[in-house]
Amino acid sequence: MRGESPDRRVLAPAAPRGDKGGVTDATSPEALKKRPRVFSGVQPTGTLTLGNYVGALRNWVQGQHDVDPIFCVVNDHAITVRIDPEELRRNTREVASVYLAVGLDPEHCILFVQSDVPEHTGLAWVLNSVTYYGELHRMTQFKDKTAKKQLEGVSAGLLNYPILMAADILLYDTDEVPVGEDQKQHVELCRDVAIRFNGLFGETFVVPKPVIPKIGARIMSLDDPTKKMAKSNPNPGSYILLTDPPDVIRKKLARAVTDSGTEIKAAADKPAIANLLTIASALSGKAIATLEDEYAGKMYGHLKKDLGELVAETLRPIQEKIATYMADPAQLEAILDRGAERARHIAGPTLARAKQRIGLGWRQSGR
Ligand code: ATP
Ligand code: LTN
């Protein structure tokens, strides 16, 4: 393998481009067309929020048929913070149900759970050796999650988290990683690690790029528009969960903080209103300027009320489907088992290639 071209067809003979682990006919004109390989994931640390939906999931669904898509429930990442094992199991099933409920097509996408594909942790160990402590220590997510904490008690997993994420991405010869703004830095680290590894050991990995949505890349907390909406926030009033009932959604939006003044405008000195307008724009498809015109002369309360209806209506069909998938664990397991099998078909050769390059593949027979 040494010295071969970085073209993925050469690098990963068991999984040529367009081959989707045995699902599409690899010789069909559609499969032969060069589509970018897309990989992304969400950690099952809790029920997903409207921020996860607008910043990530919605864009995965919209773009799925133009790409070669792989989406993972990244449960190995979730254990970098303390989490009850039973809760982790439930959240894992729930996140997978959400993937299906928002419209990811399991016939087209590879959908799987990270811990079912041991190549992820296998490659992460290899990448540990070409990632620097300084790089990890500089990551803003690490700094945010350890702020006000004694570093003595912070898990090494939390520091090494971006290495596992790089492994996720690189295992699949990924071209594009659709994520919210907060994950851009991690994808950039992944690029640096891939370029470094390729430089040291020969072309091995495809260098991916982050894809950040134009609208909704950073949905803010409802109680503090300077912080991103996150499922790990201890204040439930700060986020809308994808499973929140309509009356809770309306109430949370009615209580959302606003800015001084009365004008409904997405201005720099109106971060709370700008956030509500961003959510409205993302879900309605209307430009922010159009919404500003529509709300000219109206009060903040009008926007909040309309937004409550819009969010509730958007989530209603999704919630019904989440409940259906959660009630049928056998169907969910079948989909995820098949996804894991397809994923391993691609990840296995990539890990073997990386191990060969770095010298862990030691046999003279080249096995
Ligand atoms: P946690 O609170 O456990 O750190 P989180 O809610 O921030 O989790 P992640 O699982 O880290 O969510 O993120 C999953 C995806 O959702 C990522 O692509 C991330 O960029 C995106 N995302 C998360 N929160 C937001 C947000 N507030 N706005 C836009 N995108 C978001
Ligand atoms: N760190 C990401 C989740 C994640 C991910 C990935 C996203 C883990 N591995 C690979 C894209 C590609 C987060 O959203 N917190």
pLDDT in tens, 292-329: 999 999 999 999 999 999 999 999 999 999 999 999 99
Residue 241 C-alpha to ligand 1 middle, in angstroms?
12
Helices then strands, each counted (H, E), the chain? 16, 5
Single out the catalytic residue among 20, 228, 252, 270. Answer: 228
Single out the catalytic residue among 33, 34, 143, 145. Answer: 145
Lowest mean pLDDT across 73-77, 215-219, 362-366: 362-366
pLDDT above 60 for 20? no
Residue 115: CB atoms within 10 A of its CB come to 18
Residue 3's pLDDT band, with cuts at 50, 70 and 90, is very low
Measured from the CB, is residue 219 less than 6 Å from ligand 1?
Answer: yes
CA-nearest residue, atom 8 of ligand 2: 165
42, 117, 140, 158, best to mutate for ligand 2 pocket (most atoms within 8 Å of CB): 42
- CA-wise closest residue to 31 among 78, 74, 67, 71: 67
Active site residue 265: no
Residue 165 C-alpha to ligand 2 middle, in angstroms?
6
CB 140 within 8 A of CB 228: no
**pLDDT, average across residues 124-142:** 96
Measured from CB, residues less than 6 Å from any atom of ligand 2 are 39-43, 74, 77, 165, 168-169, 177, 179, 183, 186
Distance separating alpha carbons of residues 320 and 262, to the nearest angstrom: 37
Mark out the alpha helices in 215-365 (DSSP H runs). 246-254, 271-284, 288-294, 300-326, 329-358
Work out the mean pLDDT of the chain and round it to a whole number.
92
Q: Where are the domains of the chain?
A: 22-217+329-358, 236-324
Q: Which residues of 314-335 are buried (b: 16+ CB within 10 A; e: fewer)?
A: bbeebbeebeebbeeeeebeeb
Percent of the chain with pLDDT over 90: 86
Give the pLDDT confidence score for residue 30 in this predicted structure: 57
**pLDDT, average across residues 14-28:** 46
Measured from the CB, is residue 218 less than 6 Å from ligand 1?
Answer: yes
> What is the torsional sign of CA 241, 244, 248, 253?
positive
Q: 145-149 contacts: CB < 8 A, separation 24 or more?
A: 145/81
Active site residue 33: no
**pTM for the model:** 0.91
- In this structure, what token pair is assigned to residue 299? 């009060």
The architecture CATH gives domain 22-217+329-358 = 3-Layer(aba) Sandwich (3.40)
Active site residue 305: no
Q: Do 236-324 and 22-217+329-358 fall under one CATH topology? A: no
Residue 150's pLDDT band, with cuts at 50, 70 and 90, is confident
Residue 72 C-alpha to ligand 2 middle, in angstroms?
9
- In this structure, what token pair is assigned to residue 129? 């050796």
Contacts of 319 (CB under 8 A, 6+ apart): 101, 242, 243
Residue 16's pLDDT band, with cuts at 50, 70 and 90, is very low
Contacts of 192 (CB under 8 A, 6+ apart): 135
Q: Please state, in angstroms and as integers, the Cα–Cα distance from residue 162 to each residue in 119, 332, 341, 348, following that order.
A: 16, 28, 24, 21
Class of domain 236-324 as given by CATH: mainly alpha
Give the pLDDT confidence score for residue 21 in this predicted structure: 47
